[in-house]
């Protein structure tokens, strides 16, 4: 089973977006050294909690700062963009960093309705929901499969990074995304940290899968919220920060990631136990032994080839330590070390 990283570039209270982005580069170097399989960066807009609105901008610096790890988007929110522009950008990245670039594609806005509107180029009316058409056009540029009489037919050959291409993934948390991923023969990454009831959706993906491109069989990764510390007690203490942030997010109150002490005081005032989870969300929190057991159980539940770990803590050092402990617990190691010992 592969283990990977999804980094949402969290902004801690009292710090800046610049700090968060520097932490992203630092964490990517660490993940590469530890032997994680891939490092994805997310797309979120217009809030004080997460500092990554442009995966396509971050991927290049991350890939340049690392050696072996695959780098990609988790994901590019396609409704904000022209499919051609995305194809151009990611073929450039694929050419500059051969064999290492993933293009995770999402449908969600990654923000609130007002910011979504601000992101539109044409504001005369709301952008239509034509994601299936956008996705089909994007894949057709990569496959050079637009019909000869299509007005954009010639553009596939002009992609600047050809013949290098990114590996496309579809991200999702709903049955519809599973159907699209299966029928289009795409790798599928399911966000369990958004919808923890996705095992049947993963099964739907496998049922609908049609081989395409280089993928002969279904390939599914499950993205999970994980915090690991030397003890269960410390892990739950660290997790209070993200629990407070996401609790308030559900009330449309966006805040930076607070210190654990502030978060625990908040839950005391709310009359909730310190280890209470966010309703409707699942998180894996605990010691290395506990985390390993739950990650393995999650992968088995989904029939997943890979678990993508997203960790949010107030303290960057604690986030680094969490990924170190997970790597050790899961027995992952750098590819060069595995080659030497093998």
Tokens standing for 236? 């739950």
**pLDDT at residue number 342:** 40
Residue by residue, pLDDT tens for the chain (342 residues) are 999 999 999 999 999 999 999 999 999 999 999 999 999 999 999 999 999 999 999 999 999 999 999 999 999 999 999 999 999 999 999 999 999 999 999 999 888 888 888 988 888 887 888 999 999 999 999 999 999 999 999 999 999 999 999 999 999 999 999 999 999 999 999 999 999 989 999 999 999 999 999 999 999 999 999 999 999 999 999 999 999 999 999 898 999 999 999 999 999 998 888 677 777 789 999 999 999 999 999 999 999 999 999 999 999 999 999 999 999 999 998 865 544 334
Catalogue all structural domains in the chain, each as residue range(s) with its CATH number: 2-341 (3.20.20.30)
Rounded to two decimals, the pTM is 0.94
Q: SS3 for 70?
A: strand
**pLDDT at residue number 341:** 39
Tokens standing for 284? 């894996």
Angle, nearest 10°, between helix axes 316-330 and 288-302?
A: 70
**DSSP per residue, 163-228:** T--PEEEEEESSHHHHHHHHHTT-EEEEETTT-S--HHHHHHHHHH---BTTB-S--EEEEEEEEE
Residue 294: in which H helix or E strand, if any?
helix 288-302
Query: Distance (Å, rounded) from C-alpha 42 to C-alpha 64?
Result: 18
**pLDDT at residue number 339:** 44
Query: Distance (Å, rounded) from C-alpha 178 to C-alpha 186?
Result: 10
């Amino acid at each position: 089973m592969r283990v990977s990283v999804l980094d949402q570039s969290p902004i801690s209270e009292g710090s800046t977006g610049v700090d968060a982005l520097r932490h992203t580069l630092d964490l990517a170097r660490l993940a590469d050294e530890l032997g994680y399989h891939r490092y994805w960066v997310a797309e979120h807009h217009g809030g004080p909690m997460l500092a990554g609105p442009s995966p396509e901008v971050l991927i290049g610096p991350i890939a340049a700062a690392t050696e072996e790890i695959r780098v990609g988007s988790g994901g590019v929110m396609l409704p904000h963009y022209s499919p051609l522009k995305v194809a151009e950008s990611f073929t450039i990245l694929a050419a500059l960093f051969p064999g290492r670039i993933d293009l995770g594609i999402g449908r969600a806005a990654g923000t609130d309705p007002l910011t979504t509107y601000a992101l539109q180029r044409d504001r005369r009316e709301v952008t239509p929901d034509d994601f299936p058409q956008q996705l089909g056009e994007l894949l057709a540029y990569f496959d050079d499969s637009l019909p000869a009489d299509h007005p954009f037919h010639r553009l596939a050959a002009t992609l600047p990074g050809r013949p290098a291409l990114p590996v496309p993934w579809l991200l999702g948390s709903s049955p519809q995304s599973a159907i699209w991923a299966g029928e289009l023969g795409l790798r599928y990454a399911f966000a369990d940290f958004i919808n923890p009831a996705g095992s049947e959706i993963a099964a739907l993906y496998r049922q609908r899968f049609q081989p395409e491109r280089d993928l002969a069989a279904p390939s599914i990764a499950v993205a999970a919220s994980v915090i690991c510390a030397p003890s269960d007690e410390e892990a739950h203490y660290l997790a209070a920060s993200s629990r407070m942030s996401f609790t308030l997010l559900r009330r449309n109150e966006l805040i930076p990631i607070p210190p654990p002490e502030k978060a625990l005081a908040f839950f005391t005032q709310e009359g909730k136990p310190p280890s209470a989870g966010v309703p409707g969300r699942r998180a894996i929190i605990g010691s290395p032994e506990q985390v390993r057991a739950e990650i393995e159980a999650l992968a088995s539940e989904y029939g997943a080839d890979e678990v993508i770990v997203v960790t949010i803590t107030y303290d960057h050092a604690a986030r680094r330590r969490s990924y170190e402990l997970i790597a050790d617990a899961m027995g992952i190691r750098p590819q060069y070390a595995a080659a030497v010992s093998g």
